[in-house]
Structure 1
Amino acid sequence: MVRKPECREPVLSSSLPEPKPDVRKRTGVAGPRDEKQSAAELDLVLQQHQNLQEKLAEEMLGLARSLKTNTLAAQSVIKKDNQTLSHSLKMADQNLEKLKTESERLEQHAQKSVNWLLWAMLIIVCFIFISMILFIRIMPKLK
C-alpha cells in the first residue's frame, strides 16, 4: 500500500521504492517477470523450511540417541541394584537360618546349664543347712 504525500504534486512511480511482492497478497494476473520472481521466492521459502526441518530432525535424532544412552545406563544400574538386592536377600536368609540353629543350640545349652546350676545350688543349700545344724549342736550356748 502506497501512501500519498500531503502535497498535491504529481507522484512519479519511479521515485517511490517498489513494494516487495508478497505471495499471499498477489492479485490479478502477473507478468512473466513477476512469476519468475515469485517462483524464486517460493523456492527460497521452501528451501528455508526444508533446512529448518532437517535441523529439527537432526536435533530430534540427537535427543533420541541421548535418551537411548541414558536409558541403557539406567538399565545397567537397575540390573546391578537388583543383583545386589537378591544377593543381600540370600545372605539374610542364610543368616536367619544360622541364627535359628544357634538359638536352638543356645536353648539346649541353657537348659543343661540351668539343670546343673539348679542341682549345684540345691547341694550347696543342703550343705549349708546341715553345717548350721551341726554348728548349733556342737557349739555350747553362751551364758
Structure 2
Amino acid sequence: LGDLDRWGPRLPQVSGAAGPRPGDEKQSAAELDLVLQRHQNLQEKLAEEMLGLARSLKTNTLAAQSVIKKDNQTLSHSLKMADQNLEKLKTESERLEQHAQKSVNWLLWAMLIVVCFIFISMILFIRIMPKLK
C-alpha cells in the first residue's frame, strides 16, 4: 500500500462490523472525487501535449515533404542537364576527332614537303660550294 500513496490520498479503510459511518462515507466520496478529478486533469494535460506533438510532427513532415520535392526537382533538372551535356560532348568529340585527322593529314604533307625542300637544298649547297683542301 506504500506505492498507492503517491497516486493520491488513501481512502479510509472500513474496519469493524458496524459498517461505514455517514460522515466517513461523505469524506471518502469527496476524496474519491478529488482523485478522479486529478486523474482527469492529468489525462487532459497529456491529451493536449499529445495534440501539440502531433501538430509539430505534421508541420515537420510537411516541411520535409516540400524540401524533398525541391530536391527531386533539382535532381531531375541535373539529370536532364547531364544527359544534354553528354550528347554535346559526344558530338564535339566526333568533331574534334575529324578535325584531328584532317590536321594530321595536312601536317604530314607539310612536313614531307619541308623535308624534301631541305634535302634538295643540301644537295645544291654541296654542289655549289667548292671542296676545302
What band does the TM-score fall into relative to the shorter chain?
Answer: 0.7 to 0.9
* Counterpart position of 1:57: 47
Report the CA distance between 1:32 and its aligned residue.
1.3
Give the TM-score normalised by the residue count of structure 2: 0.87
Larger helix percent: 2
- 2: distance between equivalents of 1:73 and 1:128? 78
After TM superposition, what 4+ stretches of structure 1 lie above 2 angstroms from structure 2? 24-28
1:30-80 residue CA offsets vs partner (Å, 9 max, x unmatched) = 111111111111011101100110010000000000011001101111111
- Of structures 1 and 2, the larger Rg is shown by 1
- For 1:110 and 1:24, the matched residues in 2 are separated by 105
Report the counterpart of residue 42 of structure 1 in structure 2.
32
Is 2:66 the counterpart of 1:76?
yes
| Deviation for aligned residue 1:24 | 6.0
Deviations along 1:94-134, whole A, 9 cap, x unmatched?
Answer: 11111111011001000000000000000000111011111
| Coordinate RMSD, CA, aligned | 1.4
> What's 1:25 paired with?
13
C-alpha distance in structure 2 between counterparts of 1:117 and 1:81, whole Å: 51
Deviation at 1:85, TM superposition (A): 1.0
- Structure 2 equivalent of residue 99 of structure 1: 89
> Separation in 2 of the partners of 1:113 and 1:142?
44
Alignment length (residue pairs): 123
| Aligned partner letter, 2:14 | R
What TM-score, normalized to structure 1?
Answer: 0.81
